[in-house]
A and B are shown apart, each in its own frame.
Chain A
Amino acid sequence: GIQVEQSPPDLILQEGANSTLRCNFSDSVNNLQWFHQNPWGQLINLFYIPSGTKQNGRLSATTVATERYSLLYISSSQTTDSGVYFCAVESGANSKLTFGKGITLSVRP
């Protein structure tokens, strides 16, 4: 099946810093999503982005499908950005999301 690798596995930022989270995948995809799992365990959908670029406030994402990677940018980070960021992809006819192992982000005040 498709492989999803996220990097770095852990990230510590000072409040106000910017960061880039990366997701590599091993095959063509028809769906790619970024999720934020907050400290209370909720999975929040950040972006549905199988290709192209999207922005939502301080967050933006870019997927280059031909090169099989996606990037999540966080600007002016806040402590509420802390949590685990997951990249998940859907490939081929299989109607399921395959998740990466996640990136644990800690934003310190």
Chain B
Amino acid sequence: DTAVSQTPKYLVTQMGNDKSIKCEQNLGHDTMYWYKQDSKKFLKIMFSYNNKELIINETVPNRFSPKSPDKAHLNLHINSLELGDSAVYFCASSFRTGDGYTFGSGTRLTVV
């Protein structure tokens, strides 16, 4: 029933590992996003996809690679995890023409 769902909710992993976070939305939205919330609670966009095509890539390291198999899914793969990648990652979706964004419940990533 959840509109935007992310998995996993928590992820603890060692430096150097590769991990993925999955996101799915059932709202029929055509645009999906990844946002990062740092330790000071600041939220910043990382990527945006519209109908499976990348439209925003905000100076994110190449270790981060989003993949959108269809417009209802946007996954985030992170290679060679670093301590500084520890944060909460939020997936969101919207219609490109507006009407508001809906956020998932977040994935808390801790790199040790």
Contacts and interface: CB of A to CB of B under 8 A. Distances in A.
A93 to B, nearest CB: 10
Contact of B41 (A31, A37, A94): A37
Given A43-B90, A94-B56, A31 B100 contact: yes
A30 to B, nearest CB: 6
A90 B33 CA distance: 13
A45 interface: yes
A66 to B, nearest CB: 19
10 contacts: A41-B88, A43-B90, A45-B101, A50-B98, A86-B43, A88-B43, A96-B33, A97-B45, A99-B43, A102-B41
B5 interface: no
B102 A99 contact: no
B64 interface: no
Determine chain B's interface SS by DSSP, over half rule: strand
B67 to A, nearest CB: 19
Interface of A: 30-31, 33, 35, 37, 41-43, 45, 48, 50, 84, 86, 88, 90, 94-99, 101-102
A95 B55 contact: yes
Given A41-B108, A43-B106, A95 B56 contact: yes
B86 to A, nearest CB: 14
B68 interface: no
Contacts of B90: 43
B48 A48 contact: no
A97 B14 CA distance: 31
B50 to A, nearest CB: 7
A48 B41 contact: no
B44 interface: yes
